[in-house]
Structure 1
Amino acid sequence: MSTIVSLKNVNYQYPVGKQPVLKNIDLEIQEGNLYAVIGSNGSGKTTLCNIIRGFIPHFHKGTLEGEVTVFGKNILEYDLGEMAVKVGFVFQNPFIQVSGVKDTVFEEIAFGLENLGVPVEEIKRRVEDILQLLKIDYLRDKHPQELSGGQRQRVALASIIVMEPDLLVIDEPTSQLDPQGTEEVFEIIGIMKEKGKTIILVEHKMELIAEYADFVILLHDGEVIMQGSAKEVLSNSMLFDFQMALPQYAMLGMAMNASGFQLEEIPITEEEAYNSLIELFLKEGERR
């Protein structure tokens, strides 16, 4: 798989900041994977997203050091219009992503394509395809301002996905949603993952990260503290040292090991926990 985003020794300080928000960041994002970025508030997650999507340094100035390349091209060589085509960004607040100038969901999803000058017939086809793919066809004629938070976030995702960006950057998409809205948003993320999209996801819900992420990056105080497969990071009790939780199934596995029941590995998902328990019970049965 090819590297589509690379950060080498990256430091960034906002214009009015007294110290760097990101420090010595070295990361590589490989094509076709979902990377979850975790960390406590103020750890630099959104700033990292803003660098990858080009808002830093093209919109937010400040001091950017190191090398950032996206699709093999230095971030400094892009303009924001070019970046918007290649990198789709979804805000954590669904109420600010809706344009406010369209009367129906269909028109809202089509808005970005109109701005790119895509032919009308192709716009109609692509919007129809997205409505069906994301299972939101029933919203097509609703006014965007009348939608619930979960529905708005799904429409926001649709309006980005319809532009067919090569990379999706999604910043805490469920922070303001109820459990049903969260489930619906992650269903869409799952669809994009199955289609082989490269996704960078900032999220706090550890069970969902464990279920969907291929790799996890832990930021703390602007530095990458840990990175690796979801299994490696989310089963590591070192997360507690940085005010992070573990998935409940990892907690269960650790508790069982501490009680003398030795699991082969610490589970991080419900399926892994179920399989680990079945394996443990079978072994106990053989011993008796």
Structure 2
Amino acid sequence: MVVAEFKNVNYKYPLTDEYALKEINFQFEEGKFYGLIGENGGGKTTLCNLIRGLIPHFYNGELEGSAKVFGTDIKEHNVEELAVKIGYVFQNPFNQMSGIKSTVFEEVAMGLENLGVEKNEIIRKVEDVLELLGIEDLMTKNPNELSGGQRQRVAFASIIVMDNDMLVIDEPTSQLDPQGTENVFEIIRKLKQAGKTIILVEHKIDLIAEYCDEIIVMEKGQIVCSGETKDILSRMELLDYGALIPQVAVWGHEMGGAGMPLPEIPITVEQAVRLVRERGRMTDGN
């Protein structure tokens, strides 16, 4: 099922002459995990804002083409309606905190309260999501006194607890150490297993390679290529677009250039190990 569809979409912000999005043609399918990569200023955040309905309802500007989310033209949606279906995790957790709640529990529960969810159900859902994220110990802490990494987890919890159909996530690991980063990606994987559609903006390309189903590469407001993760992230030309590819993919290309080609270009360490072993068996067989 298609949950978002864009045909010949162009968009420019108010008081600007340059288009921030140009000829966007893409379909997002239910339950898939998309990695959105590319140069800074390439249009990734603008595309996310379009999906969320902030364009055109909040930013205004000039929107051309057909943009549908959950089967309805984005211009006919309202932001409140979309907020129930689409969760958004900010890159900067300081922007996601309400600033008015005195405990983490209250902060995470606020969205459910606004929807009028019954009290016992709120308590159950908040406790479950805090346990999922491993931050039960922060439950009674003041969210305004937490570290950057702790705030990032709380911001994530406040979105997950809403049980949205789609999640748009903007660099959720920017404030986290390597272990925290792995934990967040494991949580995102579980959300995908639960049938959520996930659109992730992230620069940690090795984790993108490991977890995402499909990749969208953006440059200068355009989608320059898209497709299955293994196909896209094995291409050296991504570097020309200001995007990254996994280090093992670079190594795979270097092996070929050195006259020792692998059966295919790996994008994860696990794939690289397997391919080296396969090549060794082929060599031994000769």
Query: Into which bin does the TM-score normalised by the smaller protein fall?
Result: over 0.9
Amino acid at match of 1:139: L
Partner of 2:267: 268
Partner of 1:32: 31
For residue 92 of structure 1, give the secondary structure of its aligned residue in structure 2: coil
CA deviation string 1:188-237 (max 9, x = no partner): 22221232211000111110110111000011111110000111110011
TM-superposed CA distance for 1:59, in Å, is 0.5
Partner of 1:220: 219
Distance 1:53 1:182 in 2: 25
Report whether the alignment pairs 1:198 with 2:197.
Answer: yes
Q: CA RMSD of the aligned region, Å?
A: 1.2
Amino acid at match of 1:152: R
User: Would the aligned equivalents of 1:150 and 1:177 in 2 still touch at CA under 8 Å?
Assistant: yes
TM-superposed CA distance for 1:176, in Å, is 3.9
User: Would the aligned equivalents of 1:6 and 1:68 in 2 still touch at CA under 8 Å?
Assistant: yes
Report whether the alignment pairs 1:143 with 2:142.
Answer: yes
Partner of 2:4: 5
Distance 2:77 2:21 in 1: 21
Gapped regions of structure 1 (runs ≥ 5): none
Amino acid at match of 1:34: F
User: Would the aligned equivalents of 1:7 and 1:28 in 2 still touch at CA under 8 Å?
Assistant: yes
Q: How many residues align?
A: 286
For residue 98 of structure 1, give the secondary structure of its aligned residue in structure 2: coil
User: Would the aligned equivalents of 1:150 and 1:185 in 2 still touch at CA under 8 Å?
Assistant: no
Which stretch of the first structure deviates more once superposed, 4-13 or 132-141?
A: 132-141
Which stretch of the first structure deviates more once superposed, 96-105 or 133-142?
A: 133-142
CA deviation string 1:258-282 (max 9, x = no partner): 1111211100011111111111112
Distance 1:193 1:138 in 2: 26
Question: Could you list the runs of 4 or more consecutive aligned residues of structure 1 that deviate by over 4 angstroms after TM superposition?
Answer: none
Distance 1:81 1:91 in 2: 17
Gapped regions of structure 2 (runs ≥ 5): none
Amino acid at match of 1:23: K
For residue 55 of structure 2, give the secondary structure of its aligned residue in structure 1: helix
User: Would the aligned equivalents of 1:150 and 1:182 in 2 still touch at CA under 8 Å?
Assistant: no
Partner of 2:187: 188
Amino acid at match of 1:260: G
Identity %: 56
Correspondence list, 1:228-267, <5 A: 228-267=227-266
Amino acid at match of 2:225: M
TM-superposed CA distance for 1:39, in Å, is 1.0
User: Would the aligned equivalents of 2:38 and 2:244 in 1 still touch at CA under 8 Å?
Assistant: no
Which stretch of the first structure deviates more once superposed, 66-75 or 177-186?
A: 177-186
Distance 2:192 2:133 in 1: 13
